A = this chain, B = another copy of it.
Amino acid sequence: MQTLKVSSSQGEYNVYIGKGIRFKIDQLLPKSYEKILVITDDTIERLGYLQDICEPLHQSGANIYSYTVPSGEQSKSIQQYEQLLTYAIEKALDRHSLIIAIGGGVVGDLAGFVAATFMRGIDYIQVPTTILAHDSSVGGKVAINHPLGKNLIGSFHAPKGVIYDLETLDSLSLVEKRSGFAEVIKHALIRDEELLELLMNQVDSLENIDYDILHQAIYKGIEIKANIVAEDEREKGIRSYLNYGHTLGHAIETEAGYGKITHGEAIAIGMLFALRLSEKSYQIDLPIARIQQWFIRLQYPLKEIGSLQVDSLVERMKNDKKNKQGKIRMVLLEDVASPQLVTIQEDVLAAELSIFINEVIGNDKGN
């Protein structure tokens, strides 16, 4: 088991990474709790992880309650949020109780926002079960969706711990691995050229990814994320670099309709577009062709963007949370591992996006 310390304005917390550590979760809590509410989704419950975690907690003598929400983005709704609060009140949780979130980003974000706002904030611990959640479980961003947009309702509430059992990744589908791996690539692109090289050289398929490489990539990814959020918890500056690829990515996700394309797949396309824009903006050479070929080998569905309208995408990008005074802002790279937050003119963006889409769908090796 490896341990990473993360600093936040609400104190320091540990991220534990290892195999099978869910079975000793009782030993990894920062203190003892009288009441614990474990929140998960029905997929995770079916896989048995809920039971794996409740068992040692029961034996520690705490009162354990569990609540299972349906799997999927639709659970990040105001209605589901209210139902969880009702359950917490009915079970008489108090300010000294703990919430544990077992699952991917949806469960983490939802349970985290419940913890952030129940009685003005109680402790919570993240137990990520996806590669994607190596990103979302660290840094204290929690949120639910509004019918008009994703993650528009939320807050910053640092967890008291993250317990990352790598064994739980075995049950991921290929699509889920692909989605999560995009955020690992993002961490490498914005901060660690060496990691990027390692990944490009060693990972040619996500189906048979080497276990040690995955472990290393996740550890590095969390370390990069932790360093950035320790420096800028509330996204006044450099935290926005973590949004690399997300401006177009979010627009693709929303425009295609949630579920049509995964978060990471959309981000992969967004990162590629940001690379092209970076090359033009800074008049530099970036290894775009090499990265694009790699993305194709990893089966990121780049050509999906061909079915979307440039105007609609730009319109969506105008609702991005990074924007200021109605101007679109994107993260570009002055070089690999050197990100900058840049204001982009709407007409330039539309023109470049149009060129990019033609290039991507014109490439017969895309899939």
Contact present for A94 and B152 (CB under 8 Å): no
Contact present for B118 and A156 (CB under 8 Å): no
Contact present for A321 and B153 (CB under 8 Å): no
Instruction: Report A306-330 residues with CB < 8 Å from chain B CB.
Output: 319, 321, 323-326
- Spot the interface stretch: A84-92, A214-222, A272-280, A331-339: A84-92
Q: Given A82-B146, A92-B326, A117-B154, 15 more contacts at CB 8 Å?
A: A9-B9, A34-B325, A78-B78, A94-B324, A94-B325, A95-B321, A96-B325, A117-B117, A117-B155, A119-B152, A120-B141, A120-B154, A120-B155, A120-B156, A121-B234
Say whether A116 faces chain B, with CB atoms less than 8 Å apart: yes
User: Which chain B residues border A34 with CB–CB below 8 Å?
Assistant: 325
Say whether A185 faces chain B, with CB atoms less than 8 Å apart: no
User: Which chain B residues border A156 with CB–CB below 8 Å?
Assistant: 120-121
User: Which chain B residues border A96 with CB–CB below 8 Å?
Assistant: 324-325
Contact present for A321 and B155 (CB under 8 Å): no
Instruction: Report A89-141 residues with CB < 8 Å from chain B CB.
Output: 89-90, 92, 94-96, 116-121, 141
Q: Work out how many copies of this chain go into the complex.
A: 2
User: Which chain B residues border A15 with CB–CB below 8 Å?
Assistant: none
Interface size on A, residues (CB 8 A): 36
Say whether A143 faces chain B, with CB atoms less than 8 Å apart: yes
In Å, the complex CA distance between A82 and B319 comes to 19
Contact present for B90 and A82 (CB under 8 Å): no
In Å, the complex CA distance between A23 and B319 comes to 33
Specify which of B78, B85, B146, B325 is in contact with A146 (CB 8 Å cutoff): B85
Say whether A149 faces chain B, with CB atoms less than 8 Å apart: yes
- CB proximity of A28 to chain B, nearest CB, Å: 22
